[in-house]
Amino acid sequence: MTEGDEGPFLREAAEWIATLHSGAVTEEEREACRRWRRADARHERAYVRAESLWHRLEPVSGRHRPEAGPVLGKVLGPVRRNRRTSLLALAGLLGVGLAWWPLASLNLTSDYRAAVGEQRQVTLPDGSSLVLNSGAAVDVDYDGDERRVILRDGDVYATVAPDPDRPFVVATGLGSARALGTRYAVSLRDRRMAVVVTESSVQVCAATPPPPARHACVDAHAGQRTATDGTIIKSPRGVDVRLATAWLDRRLVADDQPLTAVLEELARYRPGLLRFDDLELAGLRVSGVFPLDDTDQALALLADYLPIQVTNYTRWLTVIGRR
């Protein structure tokens, strides 16, 4: 064993820190933590590192200091089974940021990417253009027969320069969206690929259709949306494209949506963590237009409209609760 080999155990250490600072730890849990620390020298080193980071937590103001422990438990406790979420949440609480952690979803080696909260426009060699939404990452592969954009994560809007001899394809691990000359949006989130067509038509195919079919494709036309999980592809249906692509105007449009869904979307545009309890906020619904380039203002608008409280503990952690 060598110094610095405790990295793989930082996840467990983060959970133990969350438990001990939850404000509701039992003596049995304390003893279990002690046993875990004694079981392996790497466990102890990981625990010391996590505890050191915890003590470096700088609250927004002194009055928040007594609440920091219970807040850590509130933020991490309900998701202890999800170690990745717990670890990232602890990193956010400690104010050390998220970009350094190797589990971050953004592929930093991609040809083009947009930072969190950023919207980026890219002109491709053939004159086609892309708009990358917050956190999106793409690779570009133009060979002699095909113009291919590989979406690694997030949302992208393509304006395609016509070229009948070289199809334009936006591909993901779940499927592909092929067009000859059109405008359309493709999103890749939570193991689901969605396509919204704003002009002309697009052929959308699943990557691995169930047997005996070798191909599973549908044609989506302007004003339609379809989606696939990589195997099953949904029939195209009409959609309000202005709402579906409102992110292009840096707006989030909610029409009687659950508050939790709106918060999940806003979280994609904020560095750090936006945390809330689904059950606590259940039943609250939202209609309105919210700015995506100023999510603090969006949260303030929600707090004016709904019985919720927005609390910033560090620049990396915002907690939403009922008033």
Domain ranges of the chain: 7-93, 112-244, 250-322
pLDDT 10s per residue in the chain (323 long)? 444 555 567 777 877 877 787 667 789 989 999 999 999 988 988 888 877 766 654 443 333 433 444 444 444 444 333 434 444 455 445 434 333 443 344 456 789 999 999 999 999 999 999 999 999 999 999 987 899 999 999 999 999 999 988 999 999 999 999 997 799 999 998 889 999 999 999 999 999 877 766 668 999 999 999 999 999 999 999 999 999 999 999 999 999 999 999 999 999 999 878 888 889 999 999 999 999 999 999 999 999 999 999 998 777 788 899 98
| CATH C-level class of 112-244 | mainly beta
Secondary structure of residue 82 in the 3-state scheme: coil
Q: How distant is the alpha carbon of residue 41 from its chain centre?
A: 35
CB count in 10 Å sphere of residue 93: 29
CATH of the domain spanning 250-322, picked from 3.30.70.260, 3.30.420.40, 3.40.50.1980, 3.55.50.30: 3.55.50.30
> How confident is the model at residue 7, as a pLDDT?
56
Distance of alpha carbon 197 from alpha carbon 241, whole angstroms? 8
Nearest C-alpha neighbor of 45 from the set 107, 82, 105, 3: 3
**Alpha-carbon distances, residue 38 vs 6, 7, 35, 51, 82 (angstroms):** 14, 17, 5, 16, 24
> How confident is the model at residue 235, as a pLDDT?
94
> How confident is the model at residue 128, as a pLDDT?
96
> How confident is the model at residue 249, as a pLDDT?
96
Secondary structure of residue 66 in the 3-state scheme: helix
With left for phi above 0 and alpha for psi between -120 and 50, is residue 269 left, alpha or beta? alpha
